[in-house]
Copies of this chain bind each other. A is one copy, B any other.
Amino acid sequence: MKIFSGTANPELAREICKRLSIKQGKCQIKKFANDNILVKIEENVREKDVFIIQPSCFPVNEGLVELLIMIDALKHASARRVTAVLPYYPYVRSDKKDQPRISITARLIADLLEAAGADRVLTMNLHSPQIQGFFRIPTDNLLAAPIIISHFKKKKIENGIVVSPDAGSAKLAESYARKLGFPLAIMDKRRLGDTDRVTVLNIVGDVKGKRAIVFDDEIATGGSLIETAQTLIKHGVKEICACAVHGVLCGDAITNLQESIIKEVVVTNTVRIGKEKMFPKLSVLSVADLFAKAIERIHKGQSVSTLFSNHLEFAK
């Protein structure tokens, strides 16, 4: 078994290797003056079981092309099996044709990974579980639920309520609500056009006097999250936590979230969160241990679903 890391999230790769007590594979990745990437695998990988850790982080497209080149280099270097480990899957939200003549890019990414020679994919909390169906190769979709639920259970929140930021996330929120034993509320909000601007209309459910936890699969600019928080406060919510698996945190997310009325923002380290991105309200939970176990189990041919078998409702 060999584990290589692209340039997307080296800290996560390091942490995973550490937990597996394995030395990270040597590999030179550099850019020529003409903006072309060169990947050179610097140790023998013939007949090896190879994993490449490369979540979708800024800059997204550079990271994607780098990953494809790494896979190609490893396959032509005769690796027996190459598993693309994508803790945050690229273009995960482009998973449907909700406008005419657009690309279902999450599916295109699956095609490109297969074309480059990937044999397996290991990912986490896909935006929609259907995305697993975009692949012909075997995939494992880990769930961060055990880590997140455990984080909130320790806090012993009283009088809590789980809030879904929109109707599309209601199912996910419902799963958290059930696990935490909290009621559910849903923002009845409308996205207008393709832009990130949203208009909150109403809250379905009774939130008054409650401590709200807003769950989503990812936080990007945090704009709609802050609007949700403001609406909740207007409706009498006492305290607001926000939680998402993937902390994309782009645009002015960091400043805006820190200055918002949200008390705590919880994400995992699937997306790289460098020091410059840390802010006081942010808690980062590590998925390294879960990925390390999954990689070990894949390598040894053991069941992976046992790692989250008590949380399968999150896969629905």
Task: List chain A positions with a Cβ less than 8 A from chain B.
Answer: 30, 32-42, 44-48, 58-62, 64-66, 68-70, 72-78, 80, 90-91, 93-108, 111-112, 114-116, 120, 128-134, 136, 138-139, 141, 164, 166-168, 170-171, 173-174, 177-178, 183-186, 188, 190-191, 194, 196, 202, 204-205, 220-221, 248, 250-251, 297-298, 301-305, 309, 312, 315-316
Q: Which residues of B contact A102 (CB under 8 A)?
A: 38-41, 73
Residues of chain B lying within 8 A (CB to CB) of residue A167: 164, 170-171, 173-174, 184, 186
Minimum Cβ distance to chain B for residue A181 (Å): 12
Q: Is the CB of B194 within 8 A of A188?
A: no
**Contact A170 B186, beta carbon cutoff 8 Å:** yes
Q: How far is the CB of A108 from chain B (nearest CB, A)?
A: 5
> Residue on B with the closest CB to A108?
B72
- Number of chain copies forming the complex: 6
Q: Given the known inter-chain contacts A101-B41, A174-B167, A205-B204, please indicate yes or no for A96 contacting B36, CB distance below 8 A.
A: no
Smallest CB separation, A195 vs chain B (Å): 9
Is the Cβ of A132 less than 8 Å from the Cβ of B186? no
A132 x B115 contact (CB < 8 A): no
**A312 to B93 CA separation, bound complex (whole angstroms):** 17
Q: Which residues of B contact A220 (CB under 8 A)?
A: 32-34
CB-CB nearest in chain B for A30:
B194
Chain B residues near A73: list those with CB within 8 A: 101-103
Question: Could you tell me if A46 and B98 are in contact, using CB atoms closer than 8 angstroms?
Answer: no
Top 3 A-B residue pairs of the complex, sorted by shortest distance between their CB atoms: A47-B301, A130-B130, A100-B305
Rounded to whole Å, the gap between the CB of A253 and the closest CB of chain B is 8
22 A-B residue pairings within 8 Å (CB atoms) = A34-B248, A36-B105, A41-B100, A44-B303, A46-B302, A73-B101, A75-B138, A76-B103, A77-B138, A78-B120, A78-B138, A80-B301, A104-B133, A131-B133, A164-B167, A164-B170, A167-B171, A167-B173, A167-B174, A167-B186, A183-B204, A184-B186
The verdict on A104 contacting B78 (CB below 8 Å), with A36-B91, A60-B34, A62-B61 known, is no
